[in-house]
Amino acid sequence: MADARRRSPGLRRALCCTFAASTQSPDRPSHDCRHPRRRPSKPLPKTPCPGSLHSSPSPTSRLGLGIIDRRRILSPGRVSPIDSDAPLGPLPEISDSVSIASVVAESESEPERLDPVSKDRSLGSENPDAENRGCFGESGSELKLSLKGKDGRCLVLELEPGILSESSALLAAILSKSGRQVPDASGDSCKIEFSGLENVDVFKETIELMYAKDAARWLIKGGVSRAIDILEVSSTIMFDRGMKSCLRYIEAVPWSENEEEKLKSLFARCKFDEAVSEDMLARLGPQGQNNPEDLAVHLIQSVTNGTNTKARKEMQSLVSGLLSKSSVYQKDPAGVDKERLYDICHSCLNSLVHLFEEASDRGIVGRMETKPLIERVSKQVENLNWLLEILMEKEMAEDFVHMWANQEELIKMHGRASPMMRYELSRISASVFIALGRRKLQCHGDERFAVLRAWFEPMLWDFGWLQRCSKGLDMRMLEESLGQALLTLSLKQQQGFFEEWFRCFAEHGTGCPNLSKAFQVWWRRLFWRSQKHADEFFNT
């Protein structure tokens, strides 16, 4: 009967243990009764150490990394025989110390190596945040480096102490002070702890750089921003080779604005060897004395002398942005030498006078012959309007009003010149009137009266041409600003200008600026004073 039962695959002896596991228990998988022989189980694959470098060896810890111990309980009621090996020691615990660096000696047996380190492997981590354990050393690594961040994150690296001592002066001093630079025969290992770190990953990557054979290629993969972070950590732990590698790489590549600000902040907090950082400092700021006012005037002079119209307009926009108070390129906007800037203004005005004299001497009437001359006149007018904008930005434009009001020679030639040329002068007057009417220019009443007396009548003549060829001029704004500028004068002075405008508007209509709103304000003010005097007379 016994032999029959052994030969019959359908019969199975019942378990007599009251703690027998279910046939569907994961610890006791079910098998088909028709196949009594088990298939040989495949060897478990080696689990790489997550969180370590991509190509780094597996961790030496026996627990928690997929290694099945032979003493594992197979089921609640059956236990495999206990081997005669020594029991495993507990996992090393990370102390809660808040110090920046400390050395702790721990007694534990030599950890088991799952995979020896290949010298040809890269030291970069594919997923550094996956786990909090990594290993970088050779097969005899006996140093544990614990990294604790301010956010509570902890990372433990198993390293070879010799490479750390050779690379970092700070780590070498810590190991030397503890007298445990080389592990002793008992198998004890050292533990260094850095706590309160801003970025654990950057510190870990700095350690990786110590093991990299080609530092330049390793840094290229991370980029400039990461290299700046590693440079700061290398400076903290006195990793000279890392600092030199980072400085050479950063100096050789372009920077973004954020990276440049990051570098400036780092160099303000840390000091580096001048021999190595000299080229870097030369890029961050001028080493010698440099006068920004001279440079600004030189740029303005170059723009006004430009011959390409499109390029000159682009350069005008660029220089205006650099000199603006709201410039994003610098917190303290560059100053401009007022005297030298007005010298450029006088040079442009002299060029205008010579061009009008040339047109008067030739007596040019033909359109094709006057085109090059008109283009040169337009260029000088654009230069003067642009210079006026810069002067208003720097709050130095009051003298421009005086200068433009005293152009008697240009005013005389304005009446004799062709309308195609003379209306260009009214474009300058329009810029001055708009600045006065919109409160961008504050000058004395005599200066306001002088510039309006000189250029108000030419503006009435040229307004029709300005409407046809505005060249970006806002005509409605010009009308409102001109009326507001007239209202800043005395009532007696206003009366002469408004009477002149009334006659011109009655004759030419829309060919003249519409100042009816300002005219009504002047009229109301004039008769309000007359009514007030009349009331006072009758009351007395």
The string of DSSP codes covering 277-343 is HHHHHHHHS-SS---HHHHHHHHHHHHHT---HHHHHHHHHHHHHHHSTT-SS-SSPPP--HHHHHH
Collect all residues with Cβ–Cβ distance below 8 Å to 379 and sequence separation of at least 6: 309, 312
Name which of 522, 520, 485, 516 is nearest 501 in CA terms: 516
In tens, the pLDDT along 482-534 reads 999 999 999 999 999 999 999 999 998 888 999 999 999 999 988 876 655 54
From 210, 217, 107, select the one nearest 159 (Cα to Cα): 210
pLDDT at residue 141, rounded to an integer: 52
Rounded CA separation 36/8 (Å): 10
Tokens, residue 429:
């007057």
Q: Which residue has the tokens 């509570």?
A: 152
For residue 305, what are the CA distances in angstroms to 137, 382, 410, 474? 66, 12, 21, 27
CA distance 517 to 340: 41
Rounded to whole angstroms, how far apart are CA atoms 269 and 506? 73
Encoded tokens for 198: 């801003």
DSSP state letter for 509: G
Say how far apart CA 511 and CA 178 lie, in whole Å.
Answer: 95
Q: 353-382, pLDDT tens digit by residue?
A: 999 998 887 665 444 446 788 899 999 999
Q: How far is CA 235 from CA 63, 167, 302, 305, 355, in A?
A: 36, 12, 45, 50, 65
Q: What is the pLDDT of residue 189?
A: 64
Euclidean distance between CA atoms 11 and 5, whole angstroms: 7
Helix axes of 240-251 and 215-222: crossing angle, nearest 10 degrees = 60
Strand partners, 176: none
**pLDDT at position 10, please?**
42
Phi and psi dihedrals of 98, rounded to 5?
Answer: -105, 10
Counting other chains too, the contacts that 473-479 makes at CB distance below 8 Å and 24 or more residues apart are 473/427, 473/430, 477/434, 477/438, 478/430, 478/433, 478/434, 478/513, 479/513, 479/514, 479/515
Predicted pLDDT of residue 437:
94
Could you say which residues of the chain have pLDDT below 70?
A: 1-141, 178-189, 287-290, 326-335, 362-370, 529-540
Contact call for residues 400 and 345 (beta carbons, < 8 A): yes
Residue 152: which region, alpha, beta or left (left: phi > 0; alpha: psi -120 to 50)?
A: left
Nearest to 134 by CA among 120, 152, 117: 117
Strands (E), 41-169: 73-75, 78-79, 102-106, 133-135, 143-149, 154-159
User: Closest Cα partner for 385 from 431, 340, 448, 318?
Assistant: 431
Q: How far apart are CA 309 and CA 289, in angstroms?
A: 34
Q: Which of 138, 154, 136 is nearest to 146 (CA)?
A: 154
Residue in 3, 167, 169 with CA at minimum distance from that of residue 101: 169
Q: Which pTM does this prediction carry?
A: 0.62
Query: How much is the pLDDT for 235?
Result: 92
The domain covering 143-175+190-284 belongs, at the CATH homologous superfamily level, to Potassium Channel Kv1.1; Chain A (3.30.710.10)
Which amino acid, 275?
A: A
Say what the pLDDT of residue 93 is: 40
**Distance in angstroms (rounded) separating the CA atoms of residues 473 and 465:** 12
